Structure 1
Amino acid sequence: MAPAESPRAGCEGDHRPPGRVPGRAGRRRAIVLGAVHLLIALHLLHWVFAGTTVSPVEPSESMYTLENGEVNAGFIFFIVAILSTAVLGRWFCGWACHMVALQDLCGWIMRKMGIKPQPFRSRLLASVPYLLAFYMFMWPTVKRWSFPWLEQQIPSLVAWFTPLSPWPGFTDHLMVQDFWATFPSLLVAIPFLLICGFACVYLLGAKGFCTYGCPYGAFFSVADRIAPMTIVANMDACETCGLCTANCTSNVQISKEIHIHGQVVDPGCMKCLDCVNVCPNGVLSYGRARGGMALWGPRKRKSALKSHLSLTGEILLALVFTVTWFSWRGVYEQIPLLMATGIALCTTFLVFKSSHLIQRRDTSLQKIPLHKGGATSGAGRVVLAVTFLVVLMTVSAGQTRWTQNRAQMNFALAEVNLDQVLIRGQDPVPEETKVAAARAVEHLRDLLRFDRGGYALIEPTGTVLEEKIGYMSAVAGDLEQAREWWQKALEENPNDDVLLRYGQLVELQEGPEALAAWLETVRTEHGTRNAILSLRADLGRRQAFIALEQGNPLAAARHLQALIGWLGENPGLLDDIALLL
Structure 2
Amino acid sequence: MWRNLPPPEVAVLTFFVCGFVIVYLLGSRGFCFQACPYGALFGIADQLAPGRIVLTKDCSQCGLCTKACSSDILVHRELAQHGMVTNPRCLKDLDCVTACPEKAVRFGFRMPPLFRKGHPMGAYGGRFSTSVGEDLFMAIGFLIAMPVYRGLYDMVPFLLAVALALCTAWLFVLGWRLLRKSALQFRGITLKMDRSLRPGGYAFSIAILLVVLFFVHSALVQAHTLLGKRVFALMAAGRADARNLNSAIWHYESALRIGLLAPVDRRFELASLFNQAGDRQRSEELLRGVLDDDPSHAEARFRLGELALARGDREQAMRQWNENLTFGKDQSGTRSREMLTRSALALGAAHEAVADLQGASAAYARGLTLVPDDADLLVASGALAHRSGRMDDAVRFFDKALRNGAPEPQMRNNLAALHMQQGHLEFALPHLERLVALDPNDARLRYTLGALHARMGSRSKAVEHWSVGIQLDPADERTRQALAALQPMPSNEAR
Q: Provide the C-alpha distance between the structure 1 equivalents of 2:348 and 2:284, rounded to a whole number of angstroms.
A: 22
Q: Does 1:559 align with 2:356?
A: yes
Please report the RMSD computed on the Cα atoms of aligned residues, expressed in angstroms. 3.8
Cα displacement string for residues 389-422 of structure 1 (whole angstroms, at most 9, x for unaligned residues): 1111111011012112211211121114xxxxxx
Q: Provide the C-alpha distance between the structure 1 equivalents of 2:315 and 2:24, rounded to a whole number of angstroms.
A: 65
Question: Is the Cα–Cα contact under 8 Å of residues 304 and 320 in structure 2 kept in the other structure?
Answer: no
Question: Is the Cα–Cα contact under 8 Å of residues 327 and 401 in structure 1 kept in the other structure?
Answer: yes
Q: Does 1:395 align with 2:216?
A: yes
Question: Is the Cα–Cα contact under 8 Å of residues 250 and 269 in structure 1 kept in the other structure?
Answer: yes
Question: Is the Cα–Cα contact under 8 Å of residues 345 and 363 in structure 2 kept in the other structure?
Answer: no
Q: Does 1:504 align with 2:306?
A: yes
Residue 217 of structure 1: how far off its partner (Å): 0.7
Relative to structure 1, is the Cα distance of residues 481 and 516 closer, same or farther in structure 2, using a 3 angstrom cutoff?
same
Q: Provide the C-alpha distance between the structure 1 equivalents of 2:175 and 2:382, rounded to a whole number of angstroms.
A: 77
- Name the structure 2 match of 1:187: 9
Residue 242 of structure 1: how far off its partner (Å): 3.0
Other structure's SS at 1:252 match: coil
Residue 434 of structure 1: how far off its partner (Å): 4.3
Q: Does 1:263 align with 2:95?
A: no
Relative to structure 1, is the Cα distance of residues 204 and 521 closer, same or farther in structure 2, using a 3 angstrom cutoff?
closer
Question: Is the Cα–Cα contact under 8 Å of residues 304 and 317 in structure 2 kept in the other structure?
Answer: no
Q: Does 1:447 align with 2:255?
A: yes
- Name the structure 2 match of 1:457: 260
Structure showing the higher helix proportion among its residues: 2
Cα displacement string for residues 291-322 of structure 1 (whole angstroms, at most 9, x for unaligned residues): 36x96546975384426667666666655555
* Aligned amino acid, residue 538 of structure 1: A
Q: Identical aligned pairs, as a percentage?
A: 26
- Name the structure 2 match of 1:552: none
* Aligned amino acid, residue 260 of structure 2: L
Other structure's SS at 1:231 match: strand
Relative to structure 1, is the Cα distance of residues 572 and 330 closer, same or farther in structure 2, using a 3 angstrom cutoff?
closer
Q: Provide the C-alpha distance between the structure 2 equivalents of 1:345 and 1:319, rounded to a whole number of angstroms.
A: 10
Question: Is the Cα–Cα contact under 8 Å of residues 146 and 162 in structure 2 kept in the other structure?
Answer: yes
Question: Is the Cα–Cα contact under 8 Å of residues 253 and 304 in structure 1 kept in the other structure?
Answer: no
- The number of residue pairs the alignment matches comes to 364
Q: Provide the C-alpha distance between the structure 2 equivalents of 1:253 and 1:525, rounded to a whole number of angstroms.
A: 60
Residue 360 of structure 1: how far off its partner (Å): 4.8
Q: Does 1:540 align with 2:351?
A: yes
Residue 337 of structure 1: how far off its partner (Å): 4.1
Q: Does 1:483 align with 2:284?
A: yes
- Name the structure 1 match of 2:267: 466
Q: Provide the C-alpha distance between the structure 2 equivalents of 1:207 and 1:494, rounded to a whole number of angstroms.
A: 41
Cα displacement string for residues 177-197 of structure 1 (whole angstroms, at most 9, x for unaligned residues): x1572x543323333333334
Relative to structure 1, is the Cα distance of residues 519 and 313 closer, same or farther in structure 2, using a 3 angstrom cutoff?
closer
Cα displacement string for residues 31-86 of structure 1 (whole angstroms, at most 9, x for unaligned residues): xxxxxxxxxxxxxxxxxxxxxxxxxxxxxxxxxxxxxxxxxxxxxxxxxxxxxxxx
Q: Provide the C-alpha distance between the structure 2 equivalents of 1:488 and 1:406, rounded to a whole number of angstroms.
A: 23
Cα displacement string for residues 309-361 of structure 1 (whole angstroms, at most 9, x for unaligned residues): 67666666655555444433432232334433433443444444444445554
* Unaligned 5+ runs, structure 2: 330-339, 367-380, 391-495
Relative to structure 1, is the Cα distance of residues 185 and 476 closer, same or farther in structure 2, using a 3 angstrom cutoff?
same
Relative to structure 1, is the Cα distance of residues 279 and 189 closer, same or farther in structure 2, using a 3 angstrom cutoff?
same
- Name the structure 2 match of 1:215: 37
Q: 1:343 aligns with which of 146, 164, 169?
A: 164
Cα displacement string for residues 213-248 of structure 1 (whole angstroms, at most 9, x for unaligned residues): 3333112222333345x2242523655443322211
Does 1 or 2 have the higher relative contact order (CA < 8 Å, sep 6+)? 1
- Name the structure 2 match of 1:412: 233
Question: Is the Cα–Cα contact under 8 Å of residues 206 and 249 in structure 1 kept in the other structure?
Answer: yes
Other structure's SS at 1:302 match: helix
Residue 385 of structure 1: how far off its partner (Å): 1.8
* Aligned amino acid, residue 110 of structure 2: R
